[in-house]
Amino acid sequence: AGAETVKRAVELDLASRFQESLVCYQEGIDLLLQVVKATKDEAKKHRYRQKISEYMTRAEDIKKHIEKEKQDGKYHKQIRIEENATGFGYEKLFQEYLTEIVSEVWVEDPYIRHVHQASRYSLYNFLRFCEMLVKGPCKVKTIHLLTSYDEGSGRSQQISGLEEIQHSLRNYGVTLNIAFSSSIHDREIRFNNGWMIKIGRGLDYFKKPQSRFSIGYCDFDLRPCHETTVDVFHTKHTKKM
């Protein structure tokens, strides 16, 4: 397993998919270290240690390269979520970027709207996103939401729902600032540690559950997704709304 993981790391490395490569190198090194502990043959141990040393050196080089890209504002990672894929709950997608220094979040999404829209649960999705922020490990104090008004009779329910979320967040020491725009089209989420995430479908990339009692209704990791692309960037300066 260690050899296969390292082989995958090398393939990703050669393809310049450095972030994924680094994860595989780290996993492969851990597995090979376990093999070394269980091996009694000193000659084999020596060969394993040599290889592990080479992989650790390469992993450190990749770390430095990624860090330089972050500092230069050139970092870019892309995740493709396939149709009906599972395992892409908000924690899995965002947790890597929610470091302890994150205290402010900006959400731009034109479709944070009424819960009874056909096939849309956008208000609930936004609530789940806020719950993730409250749980930490980040110490979020302010969330800025820019969205568009619901069309027709759903507007009052949309505003009411957002105000309920706003009031609930206050109980956890978090301020939700809500703004509306009729011209917003882009969907992006920014954290004040420099990370920016653009999701093709915004927060609404989950499929409608089959029923209120189907697997995936409560646990978003088990909820099938619509096909979409997630682009992750790191910039020196996070723009303010």
Tell me, what CATH number does 203's domain have? Answer: 3.30.870.30
Residue 91 and residue 40 in one domain: no
pLDDT one-digit tens code per residue, 157-190: 889 999 999 999 999 999 999 999 988 888 999 9
Q: Is residue 32 part of a domain?
A: yes
Residue 62 and residue 118 in one domain: no
Number of neighbouring beta carbons within 10 Å of residue 89:
19
For the record, the structure tokens of 67 come out as: 């860090």
Residue 174 and residue 150 in one domain: yes
Q: Are strands 188-191 and 195-199 parallel, antiparallel or unpaired?
A: antiparallel
pLDDT for residue 241: 38
pLDDT for residue 88: 95
Find the domain containing 92 and state its range: 76-234
Beta bridge partners of 161: none
pLDDT score of 237 more than 50: no
pLDDT score of 240 more than 50: no
d(CA 136, CA 154): 32
Exposure string of 123-146, with b = 16+ CB inside 10 Å and e = fewer, is bebbbbbbebbeeeebebeebbbb
Residue 4 and residue 61 in one domain: yes
pLDDT one-digit tens code per residue, 20-32: 888 889 898 888 8
Q: What is the DSSP string of 205-240?
A: -BPPPSSTTSTTSS-GGGS-B--EEEEEEE-SSPPP
Residue 151 and residue 200 in one domain: yes
Residues in contact with 92: Cβ distance below 8 Å, sequence separation at least 6, in sequence order = 221
pLDDT one-digit tens code per residue, 41-85: 888 888 888 888 998 999 999 988 888 877 666 778 888 999 999
> Which segment of 6-10, 66-70, 205-209 scores lowest on mean pLDDT?
66-70
Residue 62 and residue 91 in one domain: no
Q: How many domains does the chain have?
A: 2
Question: Which of 20, 44, 72 is the last residue before a domain boundary?
Answer: 72
d(CA 189, CA 197): 5
Residue 124 and residue 190 in one domain: yes
Mean pLDDT over 119-144 rounds to: 88
Give the burial class of 33: count Cβ atoms within 10 A of its Cβ; 0-12 exposed, 13-18 middle, 19 or more buried.
middle
Q: How many residues does the chain have?
A: 241
Q: Is residue 239 part of a domain?
A: no
Tell me, what CATH number does 66's domain have? Answer: 1.20.58.80
Q: Tell me the pLDDT of the chain averaged across its residues.
A: 87
Residue 161 and residue 97 in one domain: yes
pLDDT for residue 115: 58
Mean pLDDT over 211-216 rounds to: 91
For the record, the structure tokens of 113 come out as: 């709207």
Q: Are strands 142-147 and 104-108 parallel, antiparallel or unpaired?
A: parallel
Residue 171 and residue 83 in one domain: yes
d(CA 165, CA 176): 8
pLDDT for residue 73: 65
Q: Is residue 62 part of a domain?
A: yes
